[in-house]
Structure formats: structure tokens, C-alpha cells
Amino acid sequence: MAAKASAVAKDANGRVLPLSIFIIARNEAARIGATIRAVRDLTDDLVVVDSGSTDGTPALAESLGARVIHHDWPGYGPQKRFAEEQCHHDWLLNLDADEVVPPGLAAEIRALFAAGEPSRPAWRIGIAEVFPGEDRPHRLAYTLWPVRLYRKDRGRYSPSPVHDRVDLQPGVAPGRLRGRIAHFSVRSLGEQLDKLNRYSDQQADDLDARGVVIPTWRVFVELPGNFLKAYFGRRHFVRGAYGFLTAMNYAMSRHLRIAKHYERRRLSAARERLDRTPGTF
């Protein structure tokens, strides 16, 4: 399958693009096929790092031309850093297994390499949310603009287990592509809430590891404040009632992060008091 990919991953002058594409995945058989099909003509080195799928994700990815490598889950940043190290080319494009590159963006990426080395060593690409019932991003959909296309000698993913970002070397000013990646992040409201709940555990762990203490007053404002942030700031309101519900899920996840952090501090303080005065109630 890799040979097939290399036969088509060429620019207008017949040169193979010096581009590796990597994806981290676990139990993404329902979504990763669309992700791979959209970009497999851009590269002869498409890497999927799987952390223990049980739904056939590795076999599906291999059937579509990907090179699949198993690596136990160490957190978002470490997993993506491991994936970077498996790539053969200097230029990297990172996608999540629930993201799809539309044809216009694929053509824009190919055009970057038409004259050889792109003019900048890193590029921001829009990530636009697509919710259930939609087949493409709403024209007013909230869009993040992270660095996703970059030279691996000028940037690497952060080693943080929860912060999913590329840390560029000092002085590197990224460019910005016009196209947007379609992010099919929500399968259902229940699945979204389960995912956000698990992520809030990791966020609380990260706060503990970094010794960060969030003031208690945040417990009272985190949920309403983040609902407003999602519903208006992230424009969930454009989706009507469904946007209200997804904004509530987002707000609940941010509340859980603070609640779990507060509970851990409270229990730790209680244990310290018991240690100082054993045998008391």
C-alpha cells in the first residue's frame, strides 16, 4: 500500500512531496478512514500510531496505505512526539483521527511545495468544528488556528500530557493557510461528555504535577462562565438547541476540572490534619 501512495504523492513537476503525515488513534475505525482517504495522495509516508484499538482501526489504516505502529498511551504530547520520531520526512502534517482535509486545503498544501521549500518553516491551519447532523463546518463555526504543518527541525509537539500544541523554536514565525480542516469531534452528546470527563481527570493530574493551585472562588463561576464562553465566544449558538447542549457539555467539563482539583486539595488537607492529630475524629 505504501508503494501505491508514493506513486501519486507528487507535485506538478512529478516530484514526491517531502511530507510525512502522522495520526494518533485508538478505536477510531468509524472515522479514520475518511481522514486517511483525504490525504493519502499527499504523502508516501502516512504514519498511524495506535494505542491499543480493539475495533479494527490498525487493519483499516493499513488497508488504506498507512504504516501502523503500536505505542501504549503516555498522554497527548508524548504520543505525538513519539509519532514525530517515526516519520521519514523533514516536513510533518499532523491530523487527528476525527479530522478531514477538504480538497481545497489539500491543493493548497501541495501548492506550498510547488517551487521547492515552502517560504516559512511552519504553518497554521484552521480546525473548524462539525457537529452531528452536519457534513461540513458551519460558515460561522468556531475555528482554532494551531500549527499543524511544520519542519520537525524547527518545532516539536509539547511533552505535556494534556496540552496539544507544537512548540516552535524561538524566532520562528508561522504562516497561515486559507483552508480549514473539518473536525468531526462529536459522535453524540453522551460520548462527548464521557470524553470530556476523562480529559478533566488528566487536566487535574496536570495541575497537580505542575504544582498549580486554582483559587476556590473559581468553583462558583467556572460552569456559567464557560457556558457563555462556548455558547457565544465559540459560537455554539449558531446551531440552535443543539449548540446550547454542546455548550453545556463544554462548561461541565471545565467545571469538573476545577471540582476535581478542589476535591483533591480538600482531601489532601484532611489527611494532613489526621496525620498531625492521630486518633481524633
What is the reported pLDDT for 3?
38
What is the reported pLDDT for 281?
53
Helix H, strand E, coil C: the string for the chain is CHHHHHHHCECCCCCECCEEEEEEECCCCCCHHHHHHHHHHHCCEEEEEECCCCCCHHHHHHHCCCEEEECCCCCHHHHHHHHHHHCCCCEEEEEECCEECCHHHHHHHHHHCCCCCCCCCEEEEEEEECCCCCCCCCCCCCEECCEEEEECCCEEECCCCCCCCEEECCCCCCEEEEEEEEECCCCCHHHHHHHHHHHHHHHHHHHHHHCCCCCCCHHHHHHHHHHHHHHHHCCHHHHHHHHHHHHHHHHHHHHHHHHHHHHHHHHHHHHHHHHHCCCCC
Cα–chain center distance at 182: 12
Give me the residue spans of the domains in the chain. 2-183, 189-276
What is the reported pLDDT for 7?
47
What are the mean pLDDT values of the chain's consecutive 10-residue runs (281 residues total)?
47 77 97 97 97 97 98 95 97 98 97 92 96 88 95 96 92 97 89 83 84 91 95 93 93 91 87 75 53
What is the reported pLDDT for 139?
87
What is the reported pLDDT for 180?
96
May I ask the CATH class of domain 2-183? Answer: alpha beta
What is the reported pLDDT for 5?
44
Return the bridge partners of 120, or none: none
Burial class (CB in 10 A: 0-12, 13-18, 19+), 34: middle
What is the reported pLDDT for 11?
64
What is the reported pLDDT for 9?
60
